[in-house]
Amino acid sequence: MSTKARVDCTQVDPKICPSFNLLNGSDMLTIEQCAQYQRDGYLVIPGFKSAEQIAALRARAEQIVNDFDPNESRTIFTTRDQESKTEDYFLDSDNTVRCFFEEEAFGPDGELRQAKALSINKIGHAMHDLDPVFHTFSRDARLAEVAVDLGLQEAQVWQSMYIFKQPGIGGEVRWHQDATYFDSTPISVTTFWFALEDATKDNGCLWVEPGGHRGPLRERFLRNGRQIRMEKLDSTPWPDDSTAVPLEAKAGSLVCFHGLLPHYSAPNRSAVSRHAYTLHVTDARTAYSSQNWIQRDASFPVRGFV
């Protein structure tokens, strides 16, 4: 571990120190990377996870899907019209492990159009705590160091998702901000997004609005018991092709982005899948909203990266 002073990315001003090259105390992020994160709201770190680590996670995800009985639930995952489409199966997935189908997985007869393994949209939402393989992948001391460098002094990992982005039917994820689902005062949620396969424009990579994290929170997804609703907060329009940029990333890359950063991914109409794994993390120093859809108590406490 370096003895150099640690630098908090939220405090770096690129106008003041544009050529400061010392590594942070964690030996993970440079001053330039911190400055980029502050400026753009995101950071891509190539080669963060090894091929062996990725293979282990993918094999475990395949096993979970193989063990999943489609008759257990036909619930699809969508980011559109969530108030009308959200049901008990989704709400009760907050602190367990469940599979969700792609919107286009089923034909007019109600049967799967393709094999079950090619029909699942995602697995969620507590594998990082409940599954040994996902736990090992998620509890990484290097992630704890990156989190501190990004300003998360007391990281709390609330949610994990394994996203398949299936070939041909991988669904669109509309423009949104992750703080919509993980509100806190002040907002601290940060997304850790791992490319488990090459993410390209052809197979539905992320698109972001550089600097968009300096804009307002547009909406909040609120839960009170079994009732949920989307509260509109701000009418600022979502980005378009004139401001959005693609985040193509090689397998093994870690993409970190601020909870207010608008992001989107297009449908995957290619013949190649785009597997990814995400963690949503807040800082315990901020006040986590009691109306966020995922809550924890003493019987299942929220934990950090280590």
pLDDT tens digits, residue range 200-211? Answer: 999 999 999 999
The average confidence (pLDDT) of the chain is: 89
Query: How confident is the model over 27-51, as a mean pLDDT?
Result: 95
Report the percentage of the chain scoring pLDDT > 70. 87
pTM for this one? 0.90
Query: How confident is the model over 23-38, as a mean pLDDT?
Result: 80
Least confident of 24-38, 128-142, 209-223: 24-38
Q: Residue 186: is the preceding peptide bond cis (ω within 30°)?
A: yes
Query: How confident is the model over 2-14, as a mean pLDDT?
Result: 46
Distance between CA atoms of 122 and 238, rounded to whole angstroms? 25
Pairing status of strand 263-265 against strand 173-176: antiparallel
Query: How confident is the model over 208-225, as a mean pLDDT?
Result: 97
Least confident of 76-80, 89-93, 278-282: 76-80
Q: Is the pLDDT of residue 83 over 70?
A: no
DSSP 211: T
DSSP 229-243: EEEE---PPPP-TTT
Q: Is the pLDDT of residue 99 over 50?
A: yes
Selection from 214, 201, 223 nearest residue 290 by Cα: 223
Query: How confident is the model over 94-105, as a mean pLDDT?
Result: 93
Cα 7 to Cα 34, 41, 222, 284, distances in angstroms: 8, 17, 34, 19
pLDDT in tens, 138-166: 999 999 999 999 999 999 999 999 999 99
Q: Is the pLDDT of residue 26 over 70?
A: no
Q: What is the pLDDT of residue 8?
A: 53
pLDDT in tens, 169-190: 999 999 999 999 999 999 999 9
Could you tell me the end-to-end alpha-carbon distance of the chain, in angstroms, rounded to an integer?
16
Scored b (16 or more CB within 10 A) or e, 19-28 reads eeeebbbbeb
Least confident of 25-34, 176-185, 242-251, 269-278: 25-34
Q: Is the pLDDT of residue 269 over 90?
A: yes
Query: How confident is the model over 124-139, as a mean pLDDT?
Result: 98
Which alpha helices (H) appear in 155-207, and where do they start and end?
A: none
Query: How confident is the model over 202-224, as a mean pLDDT?
Result: 97
